[in-house]
Chains A and B, each alone.
Chain A
Amino acid sequence: MNALPPHPSATRPVAAASMAPRRIGRVNWIGTGTLYRKEVKRFLNVFTQTIAAPVVTTLLFYAVFALALGGIVRQAGDVPFLQFLGPGLIMMAMAQNAFANTSSSVVISKIQGNIVDVLMPPLAPAELAFAWIAAGITRGVLVGLVTTAAILPFAGFAVHDPLFIAYHAVAASMMMALLGSIAGVWSEKFDHIAAVTNFVVTPMTFLSGTFYTVDRLPEGWQIAAHLNPFFYMIDGFRYGFIGQSDGTLMIGLAVMAVCNLALWLVLLRMLATGYKLKP
């Protein structure tokens, strides 16, 4: 008997191989990269709200506080008040936007239900957190760059130490992105995250030395200021521009590193246990 020739499909080993599960190495680079790109596109899509708006708001604050205080408070330490104000406001914009990026992303996903899009894929807690935080840092640094370009013609400050600027820009954006992710995971509705923004993040960024040197504070507040991580991020960042700081610079670097590490561990723990994410 003549054997029938094998069915064409049997001679296509390629098709069979493609059905095998895709191997993921120790790190899911594709998944992490995809989530990062998605998070960045999310805010670039509405860049008027996420990049242009903070610039306008920061210029507005600069104008308002320069007008209100410029005539009376002429010096902040050894530098003119207007030069002192500029870097503080840039840091405030970066911090608020890094926080807004992760917090809004997580809360909106949770409420709309598409949080499953990031919970279902084979992403480890560290990979998920890394993509969120990296996107938050991207937004913070981007806002910082654009705001600096906008405010520089008015404030006229120079660059004293680019390394301090870069370190504190990234470390502060990271800290705020971590806080935003944690607050986002914790929030069950928009009211919760709005409350955290209104009653914690905004006052902390306003009252942590953006507008004044610590020696202008009453005695008891000076000690409180030195226990506040927000103070170190503004102070260190501003040192990079004006070469003058209120706190000890090395302590500032360490505080930012320790805060970021601690918050990173908290976020990983939340994602690993599925706190308020996997009911």
Chain B
Amino acid sequence: MTGRALPPVPAPRLDRRFGRVHWLGIAFVARRDFGRVLNDWPETILAPVFSTLVYIAVLSLALGPDRDSPAGEAALTFALPGLVALALIQRSVETTAFSLVFDKLEGSIADVLMPPLSSVELTLGYVLAGMAAGLLTGAIVLAAVAVAFAVVPAMPLVAAAFAGLGTIMLTLAGIVIGITAVKWDHVAAWFVFLVGPVTMLSGVFAPVDALPAPLDTLMQVNPVFYLIDGFRAGVLGDGAAPVWLSLTVVVATTAMLWVAAVRTVAKSPRLRP
């Protein structure tokens, strides 16, 4: 008996090809991480905007009657761009670090480790998400400040460049923190003892020449100082350091952190035990 010949089954394409760069995978990592930020918007978007406004209110109320004096006005105007930059970079570093630690503790980190993504691609995915989160928060804070205080960026391109680079720089730091930290206590320690001081003591609130002796030198070796100063130059039209110097420092720091982050993603036993 001759059976009817079954039609040939097409061989499954196990080797789905992607080009030199796995764009789809990068987009997946970025969307997944940014989606979390959007899901949690009261904490991730609203809270930073609100606390920035609280800082501004504190400064403004503490200046009180001095607010209208030239010195008072200068102090407030000086702090505004700094606070916008602070909200932006804190969002970036938190987004990535928290997300990575959460995934590691929940085991869902496998979602990004199993797909065929190289370390560079994985890092890039996280960077895109951190950028999007930081820029979104920063844009909302900037809009609020612009409306309330009639501050319009003097050099929008410079401001945008430093905002973009700042989010990349801090997201990369967040990747290193998120992978190195084994539990929430470690993340909290990183944030309280390193990220907090480095970001807050970076000329957000007061000009560098107002500082006493050891602190001013300390601030001038802090790359976040150049980041904030460059952003402030973009908003107010004038910074403490020349824009080219700030740009060089920020680009160099970002490049070094990029290498560190990719190496951590590739090699860290805390990511792939």
A: residues with CB less than 8 A from B are 46, 48-49, 52-53, 56-57, 60, 63-65, 67-69, 71-73, 191, 194-195, 198-199, 202-203, 206-207, 210-212, 216-217, 221
Contacts and interface: CB of A to CB of B under 8 A. Distances in A.
A57 B215 CA distance: 17
Q: Tell me if A's interface is mostly helix, strand, loop or mixed.
A: helix
B210 to A, nearest CB: 6
A210 B62 CA distance: 9
B111 interface: no
Contacts of A64: 200-201, 204-206
9 contacts: A49-B192, A60-B201, A68-B59, A69-B59, A73-B63, A195-B42, A202-B54, A203-B50, A207-B57
A67 B196 CA distance: 16
B63 A72 contact: yes
A134 B152 CA distance: 51
A67 B51 contact: no
B151 to A, nearest CB: 17
Contacts of A191: 40, 42-43
Interface string B188-209: 1100110011001100111000
A231 to B, nearest CB: 13
B110 interface: no
Contacts of B40: 191
Given A67-B210, A67-B211, 17 more contacts: A48-B188, A53-B193, A56-B192, A56-B196, A57-B196, A60-B196, A60-B200, A64-B200, A64-B205, A67-B205, A71-B210, A199-B50, A202-B54, A203-B50, A206-B54, A216-B62, A221-B61
A73 B66 contact: yes
B63 A69 contact: yes
B58 interface: yes
A72 B71 contact: yes
Interface of B is mostly: helix
A233 to B, nearest CB: 17
Which 10 pairs, one residue from A and one from B, show the smallest C-beta to C-beta distance?
A216-B64, A67-B206, A68-B205, A53-B192, A212-B62, A198-B47, A211-B62, A68-B206, A203-B54, A49-B188
A190 to B, nearest CB: 9
B61 A212 contact: yes
Interface string B120-160: 00000000000000000000000000000000000000000
A207 B54 contact: yes
A221 B211 CA distance: 32
B227 interface: no
B65 interface: yes
Contacts of A67: 205-206, 210-211
Contacts of A207: 54, 57-58, 61
Contacts of B185: 46, 48-49
Contacts of A56: 192-193, 196-197
B191 to A, nearest CB: 9
Contact of B65 (A46, A198, A202, A216): A216
Nearest to A213: B64
B3 to A, nearest CB: 60
A72 B66 contact: yes
Nearest to B212: A67
B205 A57 contact: no
B75 interface: yes
B72 interface: yes
B79 interface: yes
B229 to A, nearest CB: 15
A41 B69 CA distance: 51
Nearest to A67: B206
A119 to B, nearest CB: 26
Contact of B75 (A60, A68, A203): A68
A211 B58 contact: yes
A216 to B, nearest CB: 3
A52 B79 CA distance: 28
Given A64-B205, A69-B59, A216-B65, A198 B192 contact: no
A71 B71 contact: yes
Contacts of A53: 188-189, 192-193
